[in-house]
């Protein structure tokens, strides 16, 4: 499992707690900081999950991944060469 997935999930949970605490005591600044931490954790967790899925895909289908990367490189090269 990717470290970013675990760290992101922890930040997301901490942000949720901080946001709830801010709402409970009526501190808007704490509530907003908690929501921002929660969103940042969600982004980091999503990045880690996407990295895991990509590694699984490449590990299980390395030839397909290599051919797809080559086709993408060729296509970009042809488009840039026409300029």
Q: With CA atoms as reference, report the closest residue to 22 among 38, 37, 34, 39.
A: 34
Structurally, the chain folds into a number of domains equal to 1
Structural domain boundaries, residue 59: 3-81
Does position 73 have pLDDT exceeding 80, yes or no? yes
Cα distance between residue 75 and residue 83, in whole Å:
13
pLDDT at residue 34, rounded to an integer = 95
Whether pTM > 0.85 for this model: the answer is no
Q: What band does 83 get if pLDDT is binned at 50, 70 and 90?
A: low
Does position 69 have pLDDT exceeding 80, yes or no? yes
Burial letters 16-34, b for 16+ CB under 10 A, else e = eebbeebeeeeeeebbeeb
């Amino acid at each position: 499992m990717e470290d970013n997935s675990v760290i992101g999930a922890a930040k997301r949970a901490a942000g949720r707690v901080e946001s709830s605490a801010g709402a409970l005591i009526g501190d808007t600044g704490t509530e907003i900081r908690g929501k921002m931490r929660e969103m940042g954790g969600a982004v980091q967790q999503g990045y880690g999950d996407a990295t895991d899925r990509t590694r699984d895909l490449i590990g299980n289908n390395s030839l397909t991944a290599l051919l797809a990367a080559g086709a993408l490189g060729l296509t970009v090269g042809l488009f840039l060469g026409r300029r």
